[in-house]
Structure 1
Amino acid sequence: MNSTSDWGRVEYTSVRELRGPLAVIDQVSGVGWDEFVQFTLGSGEQRHGLVLEVDRGTAVVQVLQDTAGMDPARIRTLFTGSPLRIPVGPSWLGRVCNGRGEPLDGGPPVFGAGTSAVGGNPINPVRRVPPADPVLTGVSAVDALTTLVRGQKLPVFSAAGLPHLELAAQIAAQSTAGGEPFCVVFAAMGVTHADANFVRDALEERSAAGELVLFLNTADDPVIERILTPRIALTVAEELAFTGGRHVLVVMTDMTSYAEALREVSAARGEIPARRAYPGYLYSDLASLYERCGRIEGLPGSVTVLPLLTMPAGDITHPVPDLTGYITEGQIVLSREVHAKGVYPPVDALSSLSRLMRKGAGPGRTRDDHLDVAAQLLAALARARQIRELADLVGHSALSPTDRRYLDFDEAFYHGLVDQRRDELRTLEQTLERSWQVLLTLPRSQLAMLPGDLLDAHGAAEGG
């Protein structure tokens, strides 16, 4: 028998084959793309899936818990008639869950007053409000030079061996929205169990305060779950922001693991590969995640997205960072050279950029001198890099006194401003005062981008 009726819904027994994480079901009707599916195994075990494709009565379903142990002859398949929906609301706060939203903290399942589809709803461009006002991370390299703005999507580009997970956890633990209601949704994808335990420990205090939702997808979890994790995280965040009135920071790491999961599923489906064997729709798929951030006219709160990704072999032209850079509004780049100096976080300031920084920093938002100080720091750092390259060619002794001051500035910049402890929370005032101390290693004549009254107020001295 092909099917039976279940309260008006049809239950099918015609599973043709199981292929990796996919189940192929024949002789179906009335089934739609992205529909949620329930499988009942011969043992009574329940598994779930999502419809990837329907063609002439055949449905291809991705099984969220993988197909291991499933016997095609003893499976009953129920198509629910709607996309995957999850409960939403403040009951998620303080919870630790796996990538499917099932509790890992020993608590009961998460319930909510309503449910939302994990695919989300497009935001009407006319109702989008431009990002404004800062999210302060307590990390000097970010707050001073690449200020994160509420409603922005700002990725962190890293490489294997660099402390990007530590930075992600520190930002998630320390970030604030200037005293307004704030929370963090942290989605970890493809991490080791050791890294998952590190994240739980690092964010324990914020979780206990009811300001964190933590989703942990480990490397040995089903690959399909990895594709679902960021969507569930963003669905939870949207409700907390636009209904609950909170400013929500969504930290997603590692997006390269997500893209590799997408590639694996694409290969299982037999799709024609594009660049580096990733599916041709990688750009639109990443955009469907990143573009769920923002602010909406007439609704409270905001969703800010901070995706982290490792660049294979440190290659910034790799498809994942390359496409991410097209979609997002800047990037924070971590550097092996800075890491080798013993500096944490190893941010390459000249390769990093926040395109919306002027919308969230400066008069009325952070401090009146913030943008001028940031511009002068970057200009001086660029000059210092040129002089360091010149010194490698002609020798240190051939440099002028002013050139040597720039080398002193370079050291002061990394060790006096960027470098900080992994548990150190710096206020914006502390960060900007450190910025001034670093700038004042240069003579006043080299600080041409700063107004004279600011130089007088901070005691900038003349000198060669």
Structure 2
Amino acid sequence: MSTSPIGPVATFGALEYTDVAELRGPLLVVRGVSGVGWDESARIELGSGEVRNGLVLEVDRDLAVVQMLEGTEGIRPGDTRVRFAGESLHIPVGPGWLGRVCNGRGEPVDAGPPIFGVRRAAVSGFPLNPMHREPPAEPVITGVSAIDALTTVVRGQKLPVFSIAGLPHLELATQVAAQATAGDAPFSVVFAGMGLTHLDTAAVRDALEARSAAEELVLLLNTADDPVVERILTPRLALTVAEYLAFDLGRHVLVVMADMTSYAEALREVSAARGEIPGRRAYPGYLFSDLASLYERCGRIRGVPGSVTVLPVLTMPAGDITHPVPDLTGYITEGQIVLSATMQDAGIYPPVEPLNSLSRLMRKGAGPGRTREDHLDVAAQVLASLARARQARELAELVGEDALSATDGAYLAFEQAVKQRLLNQRRDEARTLDDTLDRAWQALRVLPRQELTMLPNAVLDARYADPSAGR
């Protein structure tokens, strides 16, 4: 069995290299190496006896560039020794991760014992054969009405949350991690926090304490003052643990990663230290493939009961959705949940903008036999009516509300009903799907029946007039 996620999990070679040629930010350049490969683990021993860890980023003839996981502070080239493992970074995986709180390198920070594993797994992961993939299906119920009703998360899906600085995206991510379920199926959450403040770290730990105590949660927390390279490792550790829980133990696993913009900025900083040619907005040219190597590790495997669902959270600098991080994320993922300052200013939590949000796989995980028979029809009608309400609001700004027709006035009232009855909820409130859809019906009843053209007559007969019918 292995004893430590980052440490003596591999047999390092007996050959030591002492010719450290250069220290460059988080990078260490070793000269005179042979037989060293890309992405190989490295063990660095300082003159003081302290041992640190690293990964080989680049090899050029007899030069190896090592990315330091614990930073380069205190390293003196003349008394530093480096050993290479001959393999990529591995960690022990097993059920012992459940209920544990670790830093971004996977080291326990909860005063508990070292984490043991039943086997070792490569942190970089292995690509799934597309022929062995099963399409995402069945819902993940988050307990958040704005998500469950209108942008349902499907098991095996990758669905990002787009936000801007100052909005409660971390609170939403924590709430989803605390209360999400997969019905009666075995369910676990892996939460990877990146670039968090110490205040945010404490808030996340407090909010997720109950789920952690129930051994349904793995918590990996990288703070803003931790080495930048650790931030690049954190989501890979989270996904490696999630893959074991899903594909070996048969659990449905939700991986929440916040904030992926912090991750991308760390990648940019390391790329600049390596002297790479920058791409758009100084991000490395391989940002797309790097993000894809993370997001595409979700999914389902044929014949295996478990699944990995990824919910990345990212902030859009200055609210720019064309910024490279949200732009490239949108190409890879299957929709988006968009938070807006307008909804926040209206006092709505979570401030989800429903008309800008989309779950492209919602029809695979909602509807008859999966959630409720009227779910997809209700979602379509709510979104269509909100679009009509937006037109009525724009008209009211031109001519005034008093000049609107009775129908347009009803749409404005419907918009307010959706915000207050459906979208707005407490930060600690976990709603059942039935409660969420009943709240949607409360808003729809504000509109005349003849306006609900996307709902079948049988559904309207059962639910429009009598709130308790059809249960």
Q: TM-score range by the shorter chain?
A: over 0.9
1:193 is aligned to 198
1:249 is aligned to 254
Q: Does 1:300 align with 2:302?
A: no
* Structure 2 Cα separation of the partners of residues 71 and 361 of structure 1: 59
* 1:172-205 per-position Cα deviation (integer Å, ceiling 9, x unaligned): 0000001100000000000000000000000000
Which of the residues 390, 412, 432 maps onto 1:427?
432
Q: Does 1:45 align with 2:71?
A: no
* Structure 2 Cα separation of the partners of residues 52 and 358 of structure 1: 42
Q: Does 1:417 align with 2:414?
A: no
Which of the residues 168, 174, 177 maps onto 1:169?
174
**8 Å Cα contact 1:349/1:378 also seen in 2:** yes
**8 Å Cα contact 1:119/1:231 also seen in 2:** yes
**8 Å Cα contact 1:444/1:460 also seen in 2:** no
Q: Does 1:437 align with 2:445?
A: no
**8 Å Cα contact 1:87/1:114 also seen in 2:** yes
Instruction: State the 1:58 CA deviation.
Output: 0.4
Instruction: State the 1:9 CA deviation.
Output: 3.3
2:3 is aligned to none
1:133 is aligned to 138
1:312 is aligned to 317
Q: 1:329 to 1:8 in 2, by over 3 A?
A: closer
* Structure 2 Cα separation of the partners of residues 214 and 283 of structure 1: 26
1:374 is aligned to 379
Q: Does 1:275 align with 2:280?
A: yes
1:20 is aligned to 25
Which letter does structure 2 place at the counterpart of 1:377? V
Q: 1:309 to 1:86 in 2, by over 3 A?
A: same
Which letter does structure 2 place at the counterpart of 1:320? V
**8 Å Cα contact 1:443/1:460 also seen in 2:** no
1:9 is aligned to 14
* 1:52-110 per-position Cα deviation (integer Å, ceiling 9, x unaligned): 00011100000000000000000000001011100101100000000000011001111
Instruction: State the 1:7 CA deviation.
Output: 8.0
* Structure 2 Cα separation of the partners of residues 451 and 196 of structure 1: 47
**8 Å Cα contact 1:24/1:59 also seen in 2:** yes
Which letter does structure 1 place at the counterpart of 2:295? Y
**8 Å Cα contact 2:12/2:85 also seen in 1:** no
* Structure 2 Cα separation of the partners of residues 280 and 393 of structure 1: 46
**8 Å Cα contact 1:15/1:24 also seen in 2:** yes
Which of the residues 211, 215, 227 maps onto 2:216?
211
**8 Å Cα contact 2:177/2:208 also seen in 1:** yes
Is the partner of 1:109 in helix, strand or coil?
Answer: coil
* 1:403-453 per-position Cα deviation (integer Å, ceiling 9, x unaligned): 000000000001110000000010000000001111010000100110111
2:62 is aligned to 57
* Structure 2 Cα separation of the partners of residues 331 and 421 of structure 1: 22
* Structure 2 Cα separation of the partners of residues 373 and 267 of structure 1: 49
Which letter does structure 2 place at the counterpart of 1:366? T
1:3 is aligned to none
Superposed, 1:96-245 pairs within 5 Å as 96-245=101-250
Is the partner of 2:354 in helix, strand or coil?
Answer: coil
**8 Å Cα contact 1:134/1:150 also seen in 2:** yes
**8 Å Cα contact 2:12/2:86 also seen in 1:** no
RMSD: 1.0
**8 Å Cα contact 1:333/1:351 also seen in 2:** yes
Which letter does structure 2 place at the counterpart of 1:24? V
Which letter does structure 1 place at the counterpart of 2:449? R
Which of the residues 364, 370, 391 maps onto 1:365?
370
Superposed, 1:331-346 pairs within 5 Å as 331-346=336-351
* 1:219-246 per-position Cα deviation (integer Å, ceiling 9, x unaligned): 0000000000000000000000000110
Q: Does 1:455 align with 2:456?
A: no
**8 Å Cα contact 2:256/2:313 also seen in 1:** yes
**8 Å Cα contact 1:263/1:277 also seen in 2:** yes
* 1:278-334 per-position Cα deviation (integer Å, ceiling 9, x unaligned): 000000000000000000012220000000000000100000000000000000000
Provide structure 2 residue ranges, at least 5 long, that are not aligned to the other structure.
1-10, 467-471
Q: 1:7 to 1:135 in 2, by over 3 A?
A: closer
Instruction: State the 1:459 CA deviation.
Output: 3.5
**8 Å Cα contact 2:381/2:454 also seen in 1:** yes
1:291 is aligned to 296
* Structure 2 Cα separation of the partners of residues 221 and 8 of structure 1: 28
Provide structure 1 residue ranges, at least 5 long, that are not aligned to the other structure.
1-5
Instruction: State the 1:460 CA deviation.
Output: 4.0
1:258 is aligned to 263
Tell me which moved more, 449-458 or 413-422.
Answer: 449-458
Instruction: State the 1:113 CA deviation.
Output: 1.1
Is the partner of 1:62 in helix, strand or coil?
Answer: strand
Tell me which moved more, 449-458 or 190-199.
Answer: 449-458
Q: Report sequence identity in percent.
A: 73
Instruction: State the 1:10 CA deviation.
Output: 1.5
- Matched residue count: 456
* Structure 1 Cα separation of the partners of residues 271 and 43 of structure 2: 22
Instruction: State the 1:367 CA deviation.
Output: 0.5
* Structure 1 Cα separation of the partners of residues 213 and 17 of structure 2: 44
**8 Å Cα contact 1:243/1:300 also seen in 2:** no
